[in-house]
Every structure is written in structure tokens, then in C-alpha cells.
Structure 1
């Protein structure tokens, strides 16, 4: 009996030690890099006002219902009484990338700040100067006046593997030098507000105040800047996103040399290829970036790219999803040629395009209430022709019909809305409402058909099948 207990205890200890040995030890990494991670606090002067502390202000009654609080505040304290300019404080993280005082953080940490203070681990507080920032990538570069500062080592996000351990150091909720760890959940994530950033997704615990802090790999090198979380509560829920450090360092180089960031531009709007769209374009599987719009006079138009083309390769790199293309185009040098592989009407082709400089554009859209209606068609739509004023505002020279109403039917099922502009069906460009209805009568049944619509200035392909 004693022998069995002894052997059982030995086996338990052995298994425990094996399990423990498989877990990473982050202690040395934190010791070596913690000194280079900083706390960043800012003061932002707002145009809003708030009640100033004054002896003549009356206190609100206690135990009032929440829905009545604003009424009592107005009654007891009065509108506009004791108002003073409002200053707000924000808190974030950052890390030192050079011994002479360059610091990296997020743009949203220091945006609109009138004063930026960098607090080191040794409790020194240094006033920082904003060298420059880039809203699109959410990267900001600061400079403090100091020498021989501790620095981080820059790593390569390309070498990161999904499932690999990573570690973050930052200031969540103001708690300095907080360390959290997790694994890489995914790479190359595209987020709605980050078109030019292929985010690293992790399950590292990131909370408000971690923004701008470093993400380390197991070699103790920075591979990302912790930037965003996905949350329904405002706190950590297991989905954290970091900006790849190579993209951030490209921004740093441009801010140092030019004081601003220039991005490559192809002059297209793109979307993912769904299963039905892949079938309609004669593809064996959905992949690539589908061209939904080409900007007149842009690099893509000059290179001969067409609406409906599917970009499957850019400069030798495979394009599986549309979100992979913008970051690659963005870091391509301006005026440099790039090689594209596309699928056009089921056939593979190669094009060379000279990358342009990204401009800023906005397109307005509104309907014409006086336009003559056309009777509903096979899709359950009422469409009208576009007048000259609409075409000018929408930057549509010749093509398209305006969706006046959407009845029950296929169009409603696939998401076409009143106010949409239908530009083409399959390879047929729609010039007016008569041509649109003629094309509809000739469409086959039981086959996926692609339709290009423009909504709020943005084009998108949709797919449908006609039953009869």
C-alpha cells in the first residue's frame, strides 16, 4: 500500500513538473524590457464647459430617480451657472525606441493634447514633443529630451506564428508596468477603421490604458503596438488587436524625414468575393479582391484595370481577401511599378500599374424627387434615370439607374435599398432604365448573377439567382 502511494506521488510530481515546464517563463523578458515601457498622460483642452467648484452652488437632493437627475440639476444649479473651460486627462502607454528619446505610441492616445507627459519606470516625468502622427495607422511619434535611455529591440511580425506566445506591458486603468500574456489568435486582420493596417489579433488582456504599449514575442522583441480591443462592455473580452511594428516603423521613418506619411494608392474600391460572386465570375473558389469601382484618372484606370476584375496577386504576394490588398498597396513606394495578377471574365491576366499618392475624396448622393418612375421589374424594383445634377454629384458620367423603390422580391432579399445606383449586371453596363429592364428580361434562371450597386458613394457587388 505504501509503495503504491509512493509511486502515485512520484507520477503526480513528474506530470506536474512536465506541465509546468511547458509553460513559458516571462520573468527575464520583463526585467530586460520593462524599463523601456512608459506611461503617457495628456491634457486636452476642450470647448465644452463644466460646472466649476463654487461655494454658492446648491447640492442636488439625494435619492432622486436617475431619469429626473437632469431636471433637478437644471432647477437647483441652473443652466450656465459657474461654467469654466474644461480640461480632460487621458492615459496610455508607449515605449522608447532610441536612446536619445524617441517614443512610440498610438495617435488616439495623444490626439488633440495640449501637453504630453512621459513617465519612466524610474519615476522621472518628461515633457514630450509630438514629432508627428498618422491617423490612418493610429501611430504617433514623440520625443523627450534625455540621453542613454533604455530601449526596446524591434522584431519582425512576419515571423510570428498563430498560436505563438506574446506578452504586453502597459498601464491599464493607470496601473503602471502591468504585464499580461497570451497567444497570437490571427494575423492580417482588417478592421473597419483600419484599412491600411493588417492587425495582429491576440488574446492578451488589453484594457483602457494599454493603448500604445508594446507587444513582445518570446525573444523579447517588439512585434506590435497594442491599439484596439473588441468589446461589448468596454473592457477586455479576449479580442485584442496590435499594429505590426514594421508598419509602425515605416511611419516613423516618414515622420522623421518628411514630417508626414504618404501612402500608395491604386485608385480602386474593392470587396471580398463571396461564393455566389465567385460562381458568377467563373471562379473555382472565392478568393481575391473584387474591383467594384475605378477612380477616373487614377493609377488603376491608366493601367487598364476594369470593374469586375478580381485581383489575386500583388507584387508576387497572394491576395486571398480584399483586406490584404490596401496595406500592401499603402507601403509601396509612390511612382513605383507594381505587378498585378487578375481574373477577368474567368481568364487570368497580368498588368503593371504605377502606384500613385493616396488622395482624400468624398462623394455626395441624393435622389431626384421629380424623376419619372419606371414600372417594377423582375427584381421587384422601381428605377429612374439619373439627371445631369445627380451625375455630377455622384461623379457618374454616363451610366447607372436610381433605385426609387424596392418591393418584395429578390432585390430586397439581397439587400438592395432605395437610393442605390445600379451600375451594371454581370458584364452589362447599365446606361438607362430602358436598357436595364431589357437586360433583366434576358437573364438566365438558376445561375448566380452579379449586380454592381453604388451606395453613399461606395460601390459594392451583390449576387442573386432568378427562379423564373
Structure 2
């Protein structure tokens, strides 16, 4: 299956199901069960006027398509009567084929895409998906009564796929309100209204199929899944609860063919309404930023740190001058809670931090040195370039002969000018350099290789082979199954747990 996020957008349809036999429910089950609505007509009539069609257009020139590129097909809804007409027309007028003649470039032309949106303010603010209007130089909004209004782009959030538009009207416009998406439960009825395939206002229904879906479209993924079919043309349209509140923005589908199979995804309203407010006030999304690089806490890492469960987000790097550094959060800390919310796994943390208010003083619960501790940090706004600064460097130690670390399959040496030249290390490199790795050893199994640099062992900074040996020996004496090392290589820094159970101290075979 493939994930579709077409600039033509998508819609939501109902696949009805019927029970052939209804088993008897207990009194407790009966109290929880809710009957299906007799009709959605009254609710739909109330909501339809606030849902709009969004049309965006862009000028396409020969330069956009590259040298020798011919005209491209405008983005019509599949099945449109204009589709075949334009296909035949453009085939006759490609460079070197009739109309334009030889090497003459085709004239500029307009490409159009269609989507949906909804009005959240009677003065004319309209919410839609960013991918509906991305790259557009003209955007228009069509109301339910077929009135078409020119729209200005107030702000766009590419990473969250949300855009805010503004239209001018001589009268107040009908609106809908955001609801609390956290209160929506799996199995709740939902209603969707949008512009599937350019047909205009269309009402469909379904249920919430799942919550908190990560579909790998970005680090803030937290989608509501619905069995209401989302088709092309419905992107940016609202997903309503039975109180008529917007709990989601319909955005994407899984599909093997481009059509709906009942697996659609909506951006939760609790995420969207914060972004919309920021777009209205600042013109861009202001997300909280902690200034850390993180990695998943694996069972091996958890065991090496004395953590009961493999949960939380492990800090693998700190941005210079960022909120985490100011709060004295260290590399090797495991973030267990942020602002009162549990960090069950690494991927939870970016969403929680991003949703926090910039400038807010928040508590962060850490696991450090075998126990929990809490620090306070003041969140900054995430930088536009999303790049983390490199860690501060210290002077390297003097060069010495490589030292074997028993049981791990490593030979290591302090940083020297020769090793800097050999492995192309930075002049300010700190740590201990791996000079050799034996095959079929814990180090080899974890992918360590010559030129990698050991920065820490068991969360303690190391500057010499003796530091490494002492930390490894201490881990063995503590009956640890793994020893945790912070490794720096070309791709960045990462914590790597090495098994201590493969061979007893002093018994491993080292390279000659």
C-alpha cells in the first residue's frame, strides 16, 4: 500500500456494516453501548455552510519543467470530461509536435489543484492543508452558495501540513469550532464534509478507527485514523464529532490504487488549533524546543543503566546554548517525563515538546546515575534550520600505544595528530579513538569500526584508554550484562550497548 498526500486532496466516505445477529448485552455493556444516529441530516445541514472548496493555481513555464519539457496536464479530478480533452490537446502541442513547432518553448500555463477547508472565524479565516495550497500563486475559496472569494495565505506550517487563509466578505461567514480531540474514543461516530474529486460539498460518515497513528510523514505524526474514506479533493476538510465540533483535519490515506479503502488519517484538532492560532498571530508555527538529540532506549541500554523498563528518550547530544544545556541536562540522561507527561518512547518527546508553550518553565524528570531526578527548563522556539550545534570540544590527550579492552574486541588509543590525520578527525576532537575491532566480538556485532570515537562509558566522560578500562571493569563488578558507550562517528553520536557476557575479562582474542 502507499500513502497518498496529493495536492489534489481527499474526501471521507462511509462504508456501512450490518450485524446479522445481535448478542445479548449485559447491563454494564448496555450502559456503555450507544445506538447509531437515525440520521445525520440535521447535523449536516448545520455544518455544510462552513465547509468550503479550496482551489489553488500556479503558473507553469518551460523552465519549471526543465529543458525541452512540454506542457503538463492540469490537475483535474479523475474522470473529469476535461481530462481527455486536455490530454489530446497537449499531446498535439508538445515541442517538436505541431502547434509550438520545433524548439519554441511552450507559453506559460496555469496548473490547478483542488481541496477543501473550513471557516473558523466569521471575519473570513479558513483552515486547510498546506499541501493543498503549496506552491500556489493564487488561491480562491468557494462557499456552499457557490460564491467564490479570493484568498490570501496568512501562514503555512509545512511540517504540520496546516495552512490558514483569509477571505474578504461583505457579511459575516458561518463558522465551525474546534473540539477536544483527546476526548474522541475509538468507535465514536464521526462526520466528514469536503470536496471529493471536485464534486463540491459532500457529506460522509464513519467511526474513529484508531488514535495516535504515526504514518512516517514527520516527527509530529499523531493522526486520528478513521474508516471514513478520504479521497482526492477532500484534503483540508474537517472531521466532526457528533456535537458538530471539528476534531480533525482530513489529510492522507493508505491506498494501493489511489482510491479509498477505508484507512484515512486526520490531524487531531488539539494539535491543529494551536498551530492555527500561531499562524494567525505570527504567520508561522512557533514550536517548543529543548535542544537535544535523542535515541530510543533499547532493553540492552535500559539494563546497562539499571532502568526497569525500556522507556523514555535517551539524550545523545546537547545543543550549545539551548534550553537543555541551560537546565544542566546531560548526554546519557533518559527523559522519563516532560511537563507532567510520560515519555513512553523516543517518538513521543518531539510532539510533547513541540506542543508546549514557548517560554514556559517546565519540569523534566530524568534518569541519571541510577535514580530519578527533576530539573526545570525554559523552552525556546525551535530554530528555523532545525540544526543542532556540535558539542564543545576539549584538548586531546597525548598519543600512546593502542590498548586492548578485554572481552569487547576493541583496541583503543588517545587522540593524536596521527590518528586525526588517519581517520580525518577534527582538530578539537575529544575522547578515545577505536583503532581496531576483532571479528565476531561484541564490538563487531554492534557495528563499531576503526575511526569511531568513544566519548563516554557508562555515562562517564573518557579521555584515555585507562578511563575506558575502569568503567568497563566497574560495570562487570556491578554484574551488568551490557556496558554503554557514547560513540561519535561521521553520522553523529549514538549510545551503543556492548555485551559483557560474550567472554570473560582478558580472554578475548585481539587483532595482532
* Residue aligning to 2:253: 229
Show the 5 A alignment for 1:38-53. Answer: 38-46=52-60, 47-49=63-65, 50-51=69-70
- Say which of 331, 335, 338 aligns to 1:314: 338
Q: Distance in 1 between matches of 2:217 and 2:332?
A: 25
- Say which of 412, 415, 426 aligns to 2:458: 426
- Report if the CA contact (8 A) 1:403-1:422 is conserved: no
- Say which of 159, 168, 189 aligns to 1:145: 168
**What SS does the corresponding residue of 1:32 show, helix, strand or coil?**
helix
* Residue aligning to 1:447: 481
Instruction: Note closer, same or farther for the CA distance 1:240–1:260 as it changes in structure 2 (3 Å cut).
Output: same
- Report if the CA contact (8 A) 2:402-2:412 is conserved: yes
Instruction: Note closer, same or farther for the CA distance 1:300–1:15 as it changes in structure 2 (3 Å cut).
Output: closer
* Residue aligning to 1:8: none
Show the 5 A alignment for 1:276-425. Answer: 276-359=300-383, 360-362=385-387, 387=420, 398-399=430-431, 401=433, 409-411=441-443, 413-414=445-446, 422-425=454-457
Q: Distance in 2 between matches of 1:454 and 1:404?
A: 15
Show CA shifts across 1:237-275 (max 9, x none): 554332222332222222222333322211112233222
- Report if the CA contact (8 A) 2:154-2:164 is conserved: yes
Show CA shifts across 1:196-247 (max 9, x none): 4533333332233222111111222101112233455544455433222233
- Say which of 133, 136, 157 aligns to 1:134: 157
Instruction: Note closer, same or farther for the CA distance 1:364–1:237 as it changes in structure 2 (3 Å cut).
Output: farther
Q: Distance in 2 between matches of 1:432 and 1:79?
A: 71
Q: Distance in 1 between matches of 2:450 and 2:229?
A: 43
- Say which of 153, 157, 171 aligns to 2:181: 157
Instruction: Note closer, same or farther for the CA distance 1:400–1:41 as it changes in structure 2 (3 Å cut).
Output: farther
What is the deviation of 1:288? 1.8
Q: Distance in 2 between matches of 1:412 and 1:91?
A: 53
What is the deviation of 1:122? 1.8
Show the 5 A alignment for 1:115-126. Answer: 115-126=138-149
What is the deviation of 1:161? 1.9
Q: Distance in 1 between matches of 2:159 and 2:207?
A: 26
Instruction: Note closer, same or farther for the CA distance 1:52–1:231 as it changes in structure 2 (3 Å cut).
Output: closer
Show the 5 A alignment for 1:263-282. Answer: 263-282=287-306
Q: Once superposed, what is the RMSD of the aligned Cα atoms?
A: 4.1
Q: Distance in 2 between matches of 1:194 and 1:233?
A: 23
Instruction: Note closer, same or farther for the CA distance 1:390–1:118 as it changes in structure 2 (3 Å cut).
Output: farther
**What SS does the corresponding residue of 1:153 show, helix, strand or coil?**
coil
- Report if the CA contact (8 A) 2:333-2:368 is conserved: yes
What is the deviation of 1:33? 1.1
What is the deviation of 1:305? 0.8
* Residue aligning to 2:195: 171
- Say which of 6, 20, 31 aligns to 2:45: 31
What is the deviation of 1:143? 0.6
What is the deviation of 1:39? 1.4
Greater relative CO (CA pairs within 8 A, separation 6+): 2
Q: Distance in 2 between matches of 1:30 and 1:84?
A: 44
How many residue pairs match? The answer is 430
TM value normalised by structure 2:
0.71
What is the deviation of 1:408? 5.4
Instruction: Note closer, same or farther for the CA distance 1:435–1:342 as it changes in structure 2 (3 Å cut).
Output: closer
- Report if the CA contact (8 A) 1:222-1:245 is conserved: yes
**What SS does the corresponding residue of 1:320 show, helix, strand or coil?**
coil
What is the deviation of 1:94? 0.8
- Report if the CA contact (8 A) 1:401-1:431 is conserved: no
TM value normalised by structure 1:
0.77
